[in-house]
Amino acid sequence: MDADKKSPIPATAPSTITVTPEAPAHHTSQKPTTPPTPQLPTPGLISRSPAAARELTPAPATPAAAREPTHGPASPAAETTGPLPGSYWAEQGLPKEEENDGDSTIGSDIESSTASISSSILKYRTMNGRTYHSDTGPNDAKQNEMLDIFHYVMTIYLDGRLYNAPLPKNPENTIDLGTGTGLWAIDFADKFPNCNVMGTDISPIQPSWVPPNVRFEIDDYNKEWTYNSNFFDFIHLRWLTGTVKDWSAFYKEAYRCCKPGGYIEHMDASSGTICLDDSSVNTKVHALGQWGPMWEEACGKIGQQLLSNDIVENGMKEAGFVNIVVKDYKKELKDTTLHPYFIYRMVYGQKPLDA
């Protein structure tokens, strides 16, 4: 599907609870109970107010049934904050398209779009008290807080900048792949208010209140990309190691969708820790030294490819990007006896103007 035809993710329709009214009493002065005022969900990417709308139906034939209201799926408490559990949204189902005189292709286009939220997307797995999608990391509130902190840490590494590539003064279209909580996309949209900024992720954990030039889509970059060729001025990604099955195919798709003269920038971390003397941390005495190889083994079992020192640079070159720049940032850890650190590598490249 063309990128400029994509629609924002529609707000998930609230469940409908059917309440039957009390049969009128003939010999009592009590007034019938008034149904509570419905609390409608706030419009946005994901509704954070799950209170259900209520609808009255004609009284049933038998008086006994009239005194027993029927209820739809139970809703989370109204005071719930943060993303709702996937099990709740899965119960609600997708909104049904109503008949109208408009273009019949619109409805089918939206339903097949990456912007539509299906029940399978919202069925998270729970392991050890954490919720997961198909990614290697969790997607619960604790993880989202970590992603927000990580965004600010990466900004500090870049001396307050959001990117290193020499972008034009007025980029028109930018995409942030694996946007997470969407903070980078939001900050970039604030910096370039005339740029259309898209953030994609497989988990719908992004906020609803965002700049008007930002939209978020549920999309999987391991599948066929649906964006127009030669479309994006800037393709941004970071911390995607362990989530991509084929980096070579990934960069080729990025090259196709990048506008001639546009840039791609990728910042990611090493899969394990390194000592200041450039030797690997002793796996027998340090847990961090064990964690790296275990992560590599786990990702290999599910077909995900971790990044090595040359995958990013070589992948961009093979795809056709030029003017590639590589810069490493060392993140030291607290253990002063081993002096381990992670390597954050930033690589950007440009699509040739004559491509």
Per-residue model confidence (pLDDT) at position 232: 98
The predicted pLDDT at position 200 comes to 94
Separation between Cα atoms, residue 307 and residue 322, nearest integer Å:
20
Indicate whether 209 and 343 sit together in one domain: yes
Other C-beta atoms lying within 10 Å of the C-beta of residue 187: 16
Burial class (CB in 10 A: 0-12, 13-18, 19+), 70: exposed
DSSP string, 199-230: EEESS----S---TTEEEEE--TTS---SPTT
Output the CA angle 305-222-353, nearest 5 degrees.
100
Residues 224 and 315 in one domain: yes
Instruction: Kindly state the helix (H) or strand (E) to which residue 111 belongs, with its residue range.
Output: helix 104-112
Same domain for 80 and 189? no
Whether residue 131 lies inside any domain: the answer is no
Assign 347 to helix, strand or coil. Answer: strand
For 19, the domain range is 1-123
Residue 203 lies in a domain: yes
Q: Is residue 42 part of a domain?
A: yes
Per-residue pLDDT at 74 = 44
Domain total of the chain: 2
Same domain, residue pair 150 and 223: yes
* 150 and 106 share one domain: no
Residue 328 falls inside a structural domain? yes
Q: Which CATH number fits the domain that encloses residue 174?
A: 3.40.50.150
Whether residue 7 lies inside any domain: the answer is yes
Q: What is the pLDDT of residue 277?
A: 59
Give the residue from 123, 149, 177 where a domain finishes: 123
What pLDDT is stored for residue 110 in this prediction? 31
At 290 the pLDDT is 74
Residues 314 and 181 in one domain: yes
Q: Is residue 132 part of a domain?
A: no
For residues 172 and 202, state if they share a domain.
Answer: yes
Q: Is 185 exposed, middle or buried (0-12, 13-18, 19+ CB in 10 A)?
A: buried
Of 66, 88, 123, which residue constitutes the final position of a domain? 123
109 and 83 assigned to the same domain: yes
Q: Do 159 and 108 sit in the same domain of this protein?
A: no
In a domain, 106, yes or no: yes
Domain end marker among 74, 93, 123:
123
Together in a domain, 259 and 177: yes
Is position 135 within any domain? no
| Together in a domain, 288 and 159 | yes
Can you tell me the distance from the alpha carbon of 15 to that of 91, in angstroms, rounded to the nearest whole number? 8
* 255 plus 220 within the same structural domain: yes
Per-residue pLDDT of the chain (355 residues; tens, 9 = 90+): 444 444 444 444 444 444 444 444 444 444 445 555 444 444 333 333 333 333 333 444 444 433 344 444 444 444 444 555 556 545 555 444 444 444 433 333 333 444 445 555 555 566 666 656 656 566 667 777 777 787 888 888 888 999 999 999 999 999 999 898 899 999 999 999 999 999 998 877 778 889 999 999 988 898 989 999 999 999 999 988 778 888 999 999 999 999 999 999 999 876 666 666 555 555 556 676 777 777 777 777 777 767 666 889 999 999 999 999 999 887 665 565 666 666 788 999 999 999 8
How far apart (Å, rounded) are the C-alpha atoms in residues 234 and 96?
A: 36
